[in-house]
Amino acid sequence: MAANEKKQTIVIKKITVVAAGGHGGSWKVAFADFMTAMMAFFLVMWLVGQTPEVKKSVADYFSTPSIIEYNFSNFGVELTLEKLFLDLVNEPLKAFEQFVMPVDKRPNIMDMGLAKIQIHFLTEKLGEYTSNVQVSSDEITFEIAENYLFKNNSAEPDAEFAVIMENVKQIVEGLKDSDIKINSELPYIKDAQKSAKKNIAEERLDLVMNKVEQGLLHDRMDLFGKTTVNKISGTASKKEMTGYIKFQIRQKDKPKIRKIKPELNDTYETSESASDDVYENFVDKLTRKAEGKKAK
């Protein structure tokens, strides 16, 4: 009898609902993908037809930066996550102001953080004109040979004087709370030449200082100048017989929030007063918060 019973039939229905989603239809997504592909295609076709110089510039622009290190070649600035953190900890209001205020196109070379970035910035501005570049924790020195700035045995500016001094102005115009010392050096062999050489050195110093002074845009900037006339022997080297204009940029004496680092992974030096203030404020906030909970 059981064999004669009909088996129960199980029907499984699959229902497919075709309707436009919240975006208005899948065709819009497909069309957007198509347009993106077309733009990428035309961009590649444009890039293929460009000169090697343009291709290199595009490649440099789209090069992926490190997660820790960001290079802004336009300003010669290397910004690190560590630097951002220290800015927020030591000077929170100043750091916030930098976010909301327009970017200053005049970078402060003393705030660039890394020695290699400062050297790169100087090289970018002065190129072959500068020599003997030295960078320490709070000081930068470099020199320019006399033959780039002045005519031989004269204080008359050379053809490149205006261009070089304009680049020097771009270096100093972003400085804050710094001293700039300029030394006009000239050698002499015979004692009879000393007086004339000293006069030339002083005239050169006046010209250079006037140009540099035009680039000082911020307060607490001091400019100093001096002349040095050294006697040398007739067998001196070519370098010793060359005059130089030497520049020294030094931060003023004050609690320094951050010093120049030779490498990226070196530790910034923070002032004890700034660290203590941050710690005390943090403890006060926690104490007030705990007292508020107990009162409730």
Structural domain spans, the chain: 26-61, 78-251
CA dist., res. 46 & res. 58, Å (int): 12
Q: Which CATH number fits domain 78-251: 3.40.640.10, 3.40.50.300, 3.40.50.2000, 3.30.1330.60?
A: 3.30.1330.60
Would the pLDDT of 269 be above 50? no
Flag the least confident range among 105-114, 121-130, 256-265.
Answer: 256-265
pLDDT confidence of 137, banded at 50, 70, 90? confident
CA dist., res. 27 & res. 16, Å (int): 18
CA distances (Å), 200 to each of 68, 149, 168, 189, in order?
Answer: 50, 13, 21, 15
Nearest to 203 by CA among 128, 150, 269: 150
Contact 145, 131 (CB under 8 A): yes
pLDDT confidence of 136, banded at 50, 70, 90? confident
Helix, strand or coil, per DSSP, at residue 197: helix
More confident residue, 137 or 269: 137
Distance of CA 187 to the CA centre of its chain: 36
For 81-119, what is each residue's pLDDT tens digit?
A: 545 555 555 565 565 555 555 555 677 888 776 777 888
Q: Give the number of other CB atoms < 10 A from CB of residue 187.
A: 19
More confident residue, 174 or 253: 174
Overall average pLDDT of the 211-231 stretch: 88
CA dist., res. 35 & res. 43, Å (int): 12
Would the pLDDT of 146 be above 70? yes
Query: If you write DSSP's letter for every residue of 206-254 in order, what string do you get?
Result: HHHHHHHHHT--SSSEEEEEEEEEEE--TT--TTTTS-EEEEEEEE-SS
Nearest to 155 by CA among 188, 204, 199, 198: 204
pLDDT of residue 264: 44
State pTM to two decimals. 0.54
For 153-207, what is each residue's pLDDT tens digit?
A: 899 999 899 999 999 998 888 888 889 999 999 999 888 889 999 999 999 999 9
pLDDT of residue 114: 75
- Angle in degrees, 0-180, between the axes of helices 81-90 and 92-100, rounded to the nearest 10: 120
Q: Give me the chain's average pLDDT, please.
A: 74
pLDDT confidence of 227, banded at 50, 70, 90? very high
Between the ranges 124-128, 216-220, 235-239, where is the mean pLDDT highest?
Answer: 124-128
